[in-house]
Amino acid sequence: ALVASEYCLAEDRFRLEGLLAQSIALAWLGNVNDSYAAMNVAYGAHRFGKSMGWGFGWAFALCGNWVDAEIYFLNAADARPDDATIMAALSVSQRRQGKLLEATDSARSAVAMAPRSVEIRKTLVSTLLDDGQWRDALTELETISGLAADDPDVMLMNIYAHAICGDLAKSRQFAERAATMLPKGKTYLRIAQAFEDAGCTEECRIYCNRALDVGFYPEALYALALAECRANELTKARELLTSALNCTTQLADGSVGVLAMIEPICTLMLSLEYAPRQVKGYSVRMLLKDSPLDANSMDLLICAETSEEARHCARRLYSAMLPGREPAEHTVFVDELVSDLQPKEPVASGIHGVQFD
């Protein structure tokens, strides 16, 4: 789509269709600022021409700007009141803002326009589940199951909805059906997450372990660590989190990877600290160019009593990520934060923030 938009704009750099396609494609690729720039050009050249509401709505939605996405989807819905897709997109933008009453109304309107659309009905179910309307969600899921019983999202929604309503036996049936019909590994993780969201820790644990039988999923180890925290097995939780940091183990297909999990892992590690202390804040940069990690450097925000303790904390993280290796001393830089950024009250010592370059 981005290449096509560039060809279009090569002929006419202000052509609306090209600018809208470019803004949507850039947003999908994560280039938020460039997407906004394309939208600014489109707005300057066309003000509010045809398709502007629809195009801007999708672009803002892909940028995660749900407030502006709703505004433009509302405009698009006014221009095309019988378009179920636009109404469903409007519902999603409202749900992401927590406007669940409006989101439900929009989703029901979309379903009325396209009653046999599984995707649009799934939008309604998601909204009902978020709003705690469990029974209505189950009723809607019965209809969807008649249209697309083998749809992975429908099976996962059934797992969660039946579990949250207390019908664990039915939920397990859907889980086993999904586990049988869908690819292993990642499917086990999605089932585990559905049970976790419903508060069914033991079922979550079962499917995390199944995922780990398939391969290395740091996200499964993290979920198991959460379960151990709830059981007050803190030593076991630490062991699982340390195992999840290992960057030398081959990842299973579909895993988000260790680097994507480091922030939540460090946050959970921090919560396991026994008591807050009066500590100082330090900025620690570790150069990674000579390491096998896919990053140039790692920046850490660490709270510790001394700079040496902060340095040791950073080196410990590095060793957990790359067992058997130690960072060279000249690759670790520790700076004490300025007074305005120092913690004003006692906090847990450890890693409070991670960022990769």
For position 7, what pLDDT does the model report?
Answer: 44
Report angle CA 50, 42, 65 to the nearest 5 degrees: 90
In degrees, to the nearest 5, what angle opens at C-alpha 190 toward C-alphas 184 and 196?
Answer: 135
d(CA 206, CA 193): 11
Q: What pLDDT, on a 0 to 100 scale, did the predictor assign at position 1?
A: 58
Q: Name beta bridge partners: 187.
A: none
* Gap between the Cα atoms of 175 and 172, Å rounded: 5
As given in the structure block, the two tokens for residue 308 are: 């040496």
Rounded CA separation 143/137 (Å): 10
Residue 75 Cα distances to 28, 78, 166, 349, angstroms: 22, 5, 41, 50
Q: What is the dihedral of CA 153, 159, 161, 166, to 10 degrees?
A: 180
SS3 266: helix
pLDDT (0 to 100) of residue 4: 57
Instruction: Give the model's pLDDT for residue 9.
Output: 56
Its sign, for the CA torsion 168, 169, 171, 176, is positive
Tokens 């049936």 belong to residue: 173
Q: Which residues contact 242 (CB under 8 A, 6 or more apart)?
A: 320
Both tokens assigned to 38: 């394309």
From residue 68, give the alpha-carbon distance in Å to each of 54, 75, 95, 136: 12, 11, 13, 29
What was the pLDDT predicted at 51?
64
Q: Which residues contact 171 (CB under 8 A, 6 or more apart)?
A: 158, 159, 160, 162, 163, 195, 198, 200, 203
Of 231, 235, 228, 178, nearest in space to 207 by CA = 178
- What is the rounded CA–CA span in Å between residue 39 and residue 45? 10
Instruction: Identify residue 109 by its one-letter amino acid code.
Output: S
C-alpha–C-alpha distance, residues 268 and 202, integer Å: 20
Determine the number of helices (DSSP H) and then strands (DSSP E) in the chain.
17, 4
Task: State which H helix or E strand residue 333 sits in.
Answer: strand 332-336
User: And the tokens for 111?
Assistant: 């379903």
The predicted pLDDT at position 33 comes to 85
By DSSP bridging, strand 332-336 and strand 280-287 are antiparallel
pLDDT by position in tens, the chain (length 357):
555 556 465 665 666 666 777 778 888 888 788 887 877 777 776 666 556 778 888 888 988 999 999 998 999 999 899 999 999 999 999 999 999 999 999 999 999 999 999 999 999 999 999 999 999 999 999 999 888 888 899 999 999 999 999 999 999 999 999 999 888 899 999 999 999 999 999 999 999 999 999 999 999 999 999 999 988 899 999 999 999 999 999 999 999 999 999 999 999 998 887 678 899 999 999 999 878 888 899 999 999 999 999 999 999 999 999 998 989 889 999 999 999 999 999 999 999 999 998
Question: How is residue 99 annotated by DSSP?
Answer: -
Q: What is the pLDDT of residue 45?
A: 64
The maximal CA–CA distance of the chain, rounded, in angstroms, is: 65
